[in-house]
Structure 1
Amino acid sequence: MRSKSVFMRKIILSLVILLFGVSSFAQNTRSAETPKPPRAQYQAAKKEKKGFFDFLKKKKSTDLKTSQEETLAFRKRVSKAYAENAKIDRKVKKVKKREAKKGEKFHGHKRPPKKRPPGKQKFCNVCKIKH
């Protein structure tokens, strides 16, 4: 009699577990009434599915460059970048040169300050030096 009750308990327990499993699966599925969310336009294209025998197919050969061709291509890229940067550097140098001429010519004075002999020089409040 005891063996029957143990057997019945096992059956009831398995049915309860099965019932909970089915109900949780039913909650996870999408109902027919709710539409699927729209696909984003920016989403990348799907990758090609690989089959089991893909290793037997002939693969596309990529063009391998020799080291000389690679160095030549690299030098072309570097020279192009250098030319672009040189153009920008020239413009920056011109602007800096212009600013330097404006600022340092008279040390903040409209006209050049009077030059005195070393013994008679006065301290200037505008440019904070003796002249």
Structure 2
Amino acid sequence: MVNCISSRTDLAPDFAYINQVRFVSSPTELATIMAFINEFLDIFRDKDVKKIRIVFDSVSTLLMYSNLKTLYKFLHVLTNTVKSRNAVLLLTMEEGVHDKIEISSLQRLSQGLITMAEGEIQFNGFSRKKFQYETQDNRIILNGD
């Protein structure tokens, strides 16, 4: 985990996974974030980890600290790095806080868009089909065909 918001002192003293967390002092330190992501990708490669999944929560936070052009360049490098490692990257954005230019610019970097609304999830780019969903035990369960 790369943590850009809290600090090491915010974690419980006996936090079991502290060696798996890298702390960045500010969300503006995009080069440091990228270096830590590369470090983790190298560790996964050395351990022959398959099916690497990276969740970036949230692009909205980074947009509060950086301008769109800078963030676009960072995410362009990130998406290409992830793709070259045969990993999957999920970028999240908060709904209702971005203008159309930000959304369309960042959407160009993705292979698809997942939109979630109350009880419904829609995939664009992969498929245009809508599904009903429910959550159980911190899992999303898709219903239907």
Instruction: Tell which structure's C-alpha radius of gyration is larger.
Output: 1
Between the two structures, name the one with larger relative contact order (CA 8 Å, sep ≥ 6).
2
Bin the TM-score by the shorter chain: under 0.3
Where is the helix percentage greater, Structure 1 or Structure 2?
Answer: 1
Structure 1-normalised TM-score? 0.16
Flag the structure with higher strand content.
Answer: 2
TM-score where L is the length of structure 2:
0.15
